[in-house]
Amino acid sequence: MALGAGEIVEGKVTGLTKFGAFVSLPEEKVGMIHISEVSTTYVKDIGEFLEKGQTVKVKVLNIDENGKISLSLKQVPENAEAVKRASDDHHDRGERREKKRSAPNVWQGQKSKYADNHELTFEEMMSQFKQQSDDKLTDLKRATESKHGGFSRRSGNKRYG
């Protein structure tokens, strides 16, 4: 039985790379599932979805003139629920990681320093941001100039005459 585009076949994952997974197919053929064909969501690490030695059902997308076989895991109807569940699990883990990693928004819920303690308007937030930014740039410029002996290379000043 020769493989053809659109067929659904069972194979065994023989290798994982950062761009996809290689699958051993019937008739001693090997195809590849590109990382974009693993799940309906973004896949950063294919190892979170597949593992070496795992048996999978895949859809043959294409067989090119050189005999390279392109496969899809997410386009197999029987895999739809498993792919969705793996995607949801992956997405949930990513959200938890992102929440831990991200710093709280500095401006969110911040109150002004005014006596009436009203919330900041956009213009007030921009003014504070610009002031903080200018302060940071001034500090950076001071630190950079002190490393260069207090002179600016662009101004043409020379240390030794």
List the chain domain ranges.
Answer: 8-98, 105-147
Mean pLDDT across 57-69: 88
- The model's pLDDT over 75-86, given as tens digits with 9 standing for 90+, comes to 888 776 666 666
User: Domain 8-98 is of which CATH architecture?
Assistant: Beta Barrel (2.40)
Mean pLDDT across 65-72: 89
What is the distance between the alpha carbons of residues 2 and 124, in angstroms, rounded to a whole number? 70
- The model's pLDDT over 112-128, given as tens digits with 9 standing for 90+, comes to 455 455 677 888 888 88
Question: Tell me, what's the pLDDT at 142?
Answer: 84
For 21, the 3-state DSSP assignment is strand
Q: Could you give the C-alpha distances from 114 to 18, 62, 103, 109, in angstroms and in order?
A: 54, 66, 26, 15
